A and B are shown apart, each in its own frame.
Chain A
Amino acid sequence: MRSTRRRAGALLLSLALTVPLAACGSGGDSAGGATTLDYWLWDDRQLPAYQECADAFHAANPDITVKISQTAWNQYWQNLTTQLASGEAPDVWTNQSTYYPQFATQNQLLDVEPFVQRDKVDLTAYQQGLSDVWVKDGKRYGLPKDWDTMALVVNTEALGKQGVDPAQLDDLTWNPADGGTFEQVIAKATVDSNGRNGLDPAFDKNNVQVYGFLPEWADGGNGQNGWGILAAANGFSYLDKNPWGTQYRYDDPKLAETITWFKRLIDKGYAPRLDKQSSVANSELLLAGKGAISFTGSWTILTFTDAKVKQKFAFKPLPAGPSGRKSPINGLSDAIWAGSKHPEQAWKWVKFLGSSDCQDRVAQRAVVFPAITSASAKADAAHQAQGRDVRAFTGAAENTFLLPITEHGTELNLMVQDAIQSVVLGDAQAGEGLKDLNNKVNALFK
């Protein structure tokens, strides 16, 4: 009994004590007019670029020092939330569209609209549509910092061996019925252990050496890295209105058709079965030559173009579906904590982060595409200068759709992911399963 009570206590301890314990964190302090701002981001690849911005900012504002903390994505939001709960959050942090609504609703974010008006920030300088994402009920919760789009990443060497000319990949088509030329290429790129490709009648789908396509199934509520792209090309839209819709449409047959197509791809042996998929990320499998084609985001450009990479990769435009070629566009912003003791200084830093001064510096390093159009062009040029063809991503920016921005984002991420995985595993029918899911998701908004 004693040990039970102890265990029970320990259990509750882990839950209940997190809050007071987190209060031991450090906060920014100001002494003698000098201010230290805490700034958080998650991408280690971007850290050097923003450190450069912070240094430049400090040079221009000697009384303000920016202390950057980088935490990996998996811990970032938990850490942030516990810090917020304990009243010790960073003054400024990098925000993301799925996560920010809950912070906005809970009054954790500073409305920067008055500052924007006062300092006459030119919002038209940003890539179209990016700055509106951060507005809710007339309040503005951040300035855009960058954007990303999706494209196909293909192993040109592997495809070349199967007689696919990379130029053929510039204009792929797709439909949920037969998969279009996209599926043809995937079939050709799939090779079994006897060296036969997916179109060969003797192809052995149980002994596949290289998969033509690597789908992503841990993809939350929006399918940004996979199903969401093709569903949009099939005419699916997530919501009644975006941002801030309250009715999801996961029961749309167009989504069910899309998922069913993916499932057929798996059944034919062109993509790994979900119950036999690898524990490592698709990008790793591509690099290891275990897959030929996948969707990838513009933030992974350096992963595939690194000098150490043995295979040859190219980025190609997404396949065009019945409703055209559509890429999700996702932007990040820099937000100010409502509880910051230095709102004026924090705004100065956010304004600098959102200015071409900082974004040009980020552009030079060609890690991401900055939100300011001119800086973005510079990033593109920096990529070209290093011999990287990233037109698939910049081209994708011409026809985009927004990832859903609503309440309950994190909760429905898990629900949707589970339901879609059940369908892909064959545990649930696409139509039924997604209808059931949709009812549950929409019940969150009642």
Chain B
Amino acid sequence: MVASKTATPRHRDDREVFLGAGAPAARPRRRDDRKVAWLFLAPVLVGFALFYAYPTVLGVYYSLTDYGLLAPPNLVGAENYRDLVNDDKFWNALKVTGYYVVLNIVSQTVLALALATVMHRLTQSVAVRAMLLVPWLVPNVTVGLLWMWMLDANIGFVNHVLRAVGLGTTGFLTSPTWAMPTIAGINTWAYTGYTALLLYAGMLQIPRYLYESASLDGAGEWRMFTRITLPLLRPVLALVLVVSLIGSFQIFDTVAVTIRNTPGGVTRVIYYYIYEQAFTNFRMGYASAIAVVLALLLGLLTVVQMRLLRASRSDLA
């Protein structure tokens, strides 16, 4: 992984295009920086190999075995994958996760977009930006517990208020109907501020003069939003969507702290199911198989999403 010792002739380095997309091409170099570059990259590469690549390979290997933690793994071929196809709980977990992702992504993106636009057009206040981040700074487990207490059907604050104003109580996290929307809502609460900030940063890159000339032409805020902000925000929005989609699929903590009281596994999302198989049932091989399938699925989703949103091209350049 270390660059060769022989000096490389001066020519345009292909990597430069990758690193500095959109920059003017082929600026001649004084000396070859690649050796140093590799040196700087080395820690990351080693970390990547050790903590990402190796475990990934190991995980794929385990998915082909009957590994149960306590005994050495035996190869069983595609058995885990065959079991997976016939496992109602796996399919249910996928369905439940999908439901969550839709609820969470839609509510979170719409809210964040609205917040970011308001911030962009109205205030540049650092204090407001900082405040938006506060829910995101609270650890997920704390968020889960906090909302669990507040939403409790018997002793929770929210139900207390509902009862006081004459509405009936709801077991937000304990009713099969409401448990998933509630969890999606909790996570939307926790992540909207962060997402809004990312989108806001994207909006700052849109040249001001576009807005100025638009307002001179008599365009209103809504028109400016749909005709300027939204189209020019597309690459950032795509990135934010991809990242939050993947993050959304990885929902775990909020479910883990509340699932004990949610009957019948209606919030048993895919990550929780993997965890249950691995660390409650000690079926590490099977859990790895689910993880592999999930990784493939997420990869596919990302490719589709990037294609659809033409994420690597900007309309600003």
**Do A and B actually bind?**
yes
Give min CB distance, A86 to chain B, whole Å: 9
Distance, CA A81 to CA B176, complexed state (A): 32
Q: Residue-by-residue, is A14-28 near B (CB-CB < 8 Å gives 1, otherwise 0)?
A: 011101000000000
A288 touches B155 (CB 8 A): yes
Are the CB atoms of A16 and B154 closer together than 8 Å? no
Q: Which of B48, B68, B291, B298 contacts A4 (CB 8 A)?
A: B298
B70 CB-CB contact with A under 8 Å: yes
Kindly state whether residue B236 has any CB partner on chain A within 8 Å.
no
Cross-chain contact A16 with B59 (CB below 8 angstroms): yes
Smallest CB separation, B11 vs chain A (Å): 26
B39 at the interface (CB under 8 A from A): no
Contacts of A82 in B (CB 8 A): 69
Known: A82-B69, A106-B71. Is A15-B174 also a contact (CB below 8 A)? Answer: no
> Which of B52, B176, B261, B295 is the one whose CB lies under 8 Å from A425?
B176
Q: How far is the CA of A218 from the CA of B262 in the complex (A)?
A: 9
Q: Which residues in B have their C-beta under 8 angstroms from that of A285?
A: 154-155
In chain A between 190 and 243, which residues have their CB closer than 8 angstroms to a CB of chain B?
206, 217-218
In the complex, what distance in Å separates the CA atom of A418 from the CA atom of B295? 27
Q: What residues of A have a CB within 8 angstroms of the CB of B68 in the complex?
A: 106
Chain B 231-245 interface mask (CB, 8 Å, partner A; 1/0): 000000000001100
Task: Give the nearest-CB partner of B145 in chain A.
Answer: A279
Q: Check if B149 is an interface residue, CB within 8 A of chain A.
A: yes
A15 touches B287 (CB 8 A): yes
In the bound complex, residues from chain A placing their C-beta under 8 Å from that of B291 are: 11-12, 15
Please indicate the chain A residues that have their CB under 8 angstroms from the CB of B62 in the complex.
15-16
Q: Does A309 contact B (CB under 8 A)?
A: no
Query: Which of B175, B243, B279 sits near A81, CB closer than 8 Å?
Result: B279
Q: Find chain A residues with CB under 8 A from B149 CB.
A: 279
* Interface residue? B299 (CB, 8 A): yes
Nearest-neighbor residue (CB-CB) of A217 within chain B: B263
In the bound complex, do residue A81 and residue B281 qualify as a contact, i.e. CB atoms below 8 Å apart?
no
Q: How far is the CA of A158 from the CA of B78 in the complex (A)?
A: 60
Out of A4, A280, A424, name the residue touching B155 (CB < 8 Å): A280
Asked if A6 is at the interface of the complex by the 8 Å CB criterion, the answer is yes
B284:A15 contact, CB within 8 angstroms: yes
- Interface contact B56-A12, CB-CB below 8 Å: yes
Of the listed stretches A171-179, A268-276, A376-384, A385-393, chain B binds: A268-276
Binary interface encoding of chain A residues 272-294 relative to chain B, with 1 for a CB under 8 A from any of its CBs, else 0: 11111111100001001010000
- For chain B residues 245-266, which have a beta carbon within 8 Å of chain A? 246, 250, 258, 260-261, 263-265
Verify if A427 is at the interface (C-beta below 8 Å from B): yes
* Cβ–Cβ contact A277 & B298, under 8 A: no
Q: Are B281 and A414 in contact (CB under 8 A)?
A: yes
**Which of B104-112, B118-126, B165-173, B198-206 contacts the other chain?**
B165-173
In the complex, which residues of chain B have a beta carbon less than 8 angstroms from the beta carbon of A206?
168
Q: Is B84 part of the contact surface with A, judged by Cβ < 8 Å?
A: no
Judged by a CB distance under 8 angstroms, whether B282 is at the interface is yes
Residue ID in chain B nearest A277 by CB atoms: B174
Complex contact B53–A9 (CB within 8 A): yes
Which of these, A3, A12, A13, A278, contacts B246 with CB under 8 Å?
A: A3
Asked, given contacts A4-B246, A8-B56, whether A218 binds B261 with beta carbons under 8 Å apart, the answer is yes
On chain A, the residues within 8 Å of B51 by CB distance are 9, 13, 17
Find A12's partner among B59, B250, B261, B280 (CB 8 Å cutoff): B59
CA distance A43 to B208 in the complex (A): 63
Q: Is A432 an interface residue (CB 8 A)?
A: no
Complex interface: chain A residues within 8 A of B282 (CB) = 81, 102, 410
A279 engages B258 (CB within 8 Å): yes
In the complex with contacts A276-B170, A288-B155, A414-B59 CB distance below 8 A? no
B301 → chain A, closest Cβ, in Å?
Answer: 8
Residue of A nearest to B274 (CB): A15
Q: Report if B133 contacts A (CB, 8 A).
A: no
Minimal Cβ-Cβ distance residue in B for A193: B163
Closest to A415 in B: B89
B residues less than 8 Å from A9 (CB atoms): 48, 51-53, 55-56
Q: Is B140 an interface residue (CB 8 A)?
A: no
- Is the CB–CB distance between A13 and B155 below 8 Å? no
* B278 at interface, CB cutoff 8 A: yes
Q: Is B192 an interface residue (CB 8 A)?
A: no
The A85-115 residues at the B interface (CB cut-off 8 A) are 85, 102-103, 106, 108
Query: In the complex, A78→B52 CA distance in Å?
Result: 23
B172 to chain A, nearest CB (A): 10
Find out whether the CB atom of B59 lies under 8 angstroms from the CB atom of A7: no
Chain A residue at smallest Cβ distance from B71: A106
Q: How far is the CA of A3 from the CA of B53 in the complex (A)?
A: 14
Bound-state Cα–Cα, A272 to B70, Å: 41
Query: Quick one: CB contact mask for A106-133 with B, threshold 8 Å, 1 for yes?
Result: 1010000000000000000000000000
In chain A, positions 65-91 with a C-beta closer than 8 Å to chain B are 78, 81-82, 84-85
A275 touches B274 (CB 8 A): no
- Restricting to B282-298, which residues have a CB under 8 Å from any CB of A? 282-284, 287-288, 291-292, 294-295, 298
Tell whether A63 is near chain B: CB-to-CB under 8 Å. Answer: no
Contact residues in B for A6 (Cβ distance below 8 Å): 52
Of B48, B55, B281, B284, most buried by chain A (CB within 10 Å of CB) is B55
Query: What B residues does A280 contact at CB under 8 A?
Result: 152, 154-155
Docked Cα-Cα span, A46 to B279, in Å, equals: 26
Once A3-B246, A81-B279 are accepted as A-B contacts, the answer to whether A275 and B263 lie under 8 Å apart by CB is yes
Which of A11, A421, A422 lies in contact with B294, CB distance below 8 A?
A: A11
Whether B153 contacts A278 by the Cβ 8 Å rule is yes
Contact between chains at B288 and A12 (CB < 8 Å)? yes
| B37 interfacial contact with A, CB 8 Å | no
B54 CB contacts on chain A under 8 angstroms = 16
Nearest-neighbour CB distance to chain B for A272, whole angstroms, equals 7
Given contacts A1-B306, A102-B282, contact A278 B69 (CB under 8 A): no
Contacts of A425 on B, CB cut-off 8 Å?
176, 263-264
Chosen A-B contacts, 11 in total, with CB atoms closer than 8 Å, are: A3-B246, A7-B246, A9-B48, A16-B59, A19-B69, A275-B176, A276-B171, A279-B152, A279-B153, A421-B263, A427-B176
Q: A3-B243, A81-B69, A278-B154 are in contact. List 18 more A-B contacts (CB 8 A).
A: A7-B250, A7-B298, A8-B299, A10-B52, A15-B274, A15-B288, A16-B56, A16-B59, A17-B51, A276-B169, A277-B174, A279-B149, A279-B153, A285-B155, A290-B154, A410-B281, A411-B283, A425-B264
- For the complex of A and B, the 7 pairs showing the least CB-CB separation, nearest first, are A9-B52, A12-B59, A8-B295, A276-B171, A275-B175, A16-B55, A106-B70
